[in-house]
Amino acid sequence: MNALQHVLHAFFNLHSFTLAMPDVWAGFQLNLKMMVIAEALVLVIALGIAIVRGLPGPGARPLRALAIAYTDFFRGTPIIIVAYFIGFGLPGLQLGFISKQSFVTYGVITLTLVYSAYVTEVYRAGIESVHASQRAAARSLGLSYWQSMRYVIIPQAVRRVIPPLLNDFVGLQKDTAIVSVIGVTEAASLAQQFSNNNGDFPSLLVAAVFFILLTIPLARFTDYLVAQRERRERAQAF
């Protein structure tokens, strides 16, 4: 066997691939679970932070500053470091309830903290993209600031940011593998264990296939939404 054949055998051995499938699939359930919970939390929390960041008036300055500090910190910190701080820091603090959660929960917290920072910026861009005249129209009708946000600004903003938002979620789905560093036995870590025991790598390929199969529909759905919006906007231009 030459070098290439060696590598091909080590990575693309069908027998080993099939053998690893059940283990990795079992771990992948955890990825799915973390992903769904984190995405739901991110959708809500990020919108809240984006709204706080856009609050008007000098009285809201401390709140705005807090929101900016949050996004700056969690966008700038590598997720693996956040994972260590949450996964090993929180239990170490001995804070009762907070320190007695499972690694999966800490993983979800990590993902939520980091991706809320990204998605906050996405929402914020969306809110700012709604033309000022829309706000003027809403306020001039006697709607309050919050009513204008709730019924006029945010619905339009959210519609516009769905494609970039789903793009961030593709990233989140893959990063569920990173939280394995704090001891979550998810697909990637199980694949790695399997690989260590077996002395070859098809198990990693199994994990890769699962992740790809999960993100492709989301990516195509994003493409569809972008195309649909372009069609609608072109229709408006005539």
Partner 1 sequence: MTENGNRAQAFVDVDNVSKWFGDLQVLDHVSLQVREHGVVCLIGASGSGKSTLLRCINMLERVEEGDITVDGQCLTKDKVNVNDVRRKIGIVFQAYNLFPHMTVLQNVVLAPRKARRVPREEAEWAARALLSRIGLESKADEFPDRLSGGQQQRVAIVRALAMQPKLMLLDEITSALDPQLVSEVLALVRELADSGMTMILATHEMAFAREVSDKVCFLDGGRILEEGPPEQIFSEPREPRTREFLSRVLAGGRMG
Kindly list the residues in this chain that would bind partner 1 in the complex (CB under 8 A).
Answer: 133-134, 136-144, 147, 151-152, 155-156, 159, 235-236
CB nearer to partner 1: pick between 93 and 132? 132
CB nearer to partner 1: pick between 56 and 76? 56
The CB-of-52 to partner 1 minimum distance in angstroms stands at 22
The CB-of-80 to partner 1 minimum distance in angstroms stands at 40
Distance CA 19, CA 49 (A): 45
The CB-of-70 to partner 1 minimum distance in angstroms stands at 29
CB nearer to partner 1: pick between 18 and 147? 147
CB nearer to partner 1: pick between 117 and 138? 138
The CB-of-208 to partner 1 minimum distance in angstroms stands at 40
Distance CA 205, CA 159 (A): 36
Helices (H) and strands (E) in the chain — how many of each?
A: 11, 0
The CB-of-63 to partner 1 minimum distance in angstroms stands at 21
CB nearer to partner 1: pick between 37 and 55? 55
DSSP sequence for 62-130: HHHHHHHHHHHHHHHS-HHHHHHIIIIIHHHTT-GGGGG--HHHHHHHHHHHHHHHHHHHHHHHHHHHS
The CB-of-145 to partner 1 minimum distance in angstroms stands at 9
The amino acid that residue 204 corresponds to is L
The CB-of-9 to partner 1 minimum distance in angstroms stands at 56
Contact 162/225 with Cβ under 8 angstroms?
A: yes
CB nearer to partner 1: pick between 18 and 144? 144
> Could you say which DSSP state residue 60 is in?
G
Distance CA 74, CA 70 (A): 6
Phi, then psi, of 174 in degrees rounded to 5 = -70, -35
CB nearer to partner 1: pick between 14 and 235? 235
Distance CA 60, CA 58 (A): 5
Residue listed under structure tokens 């955890």:
30
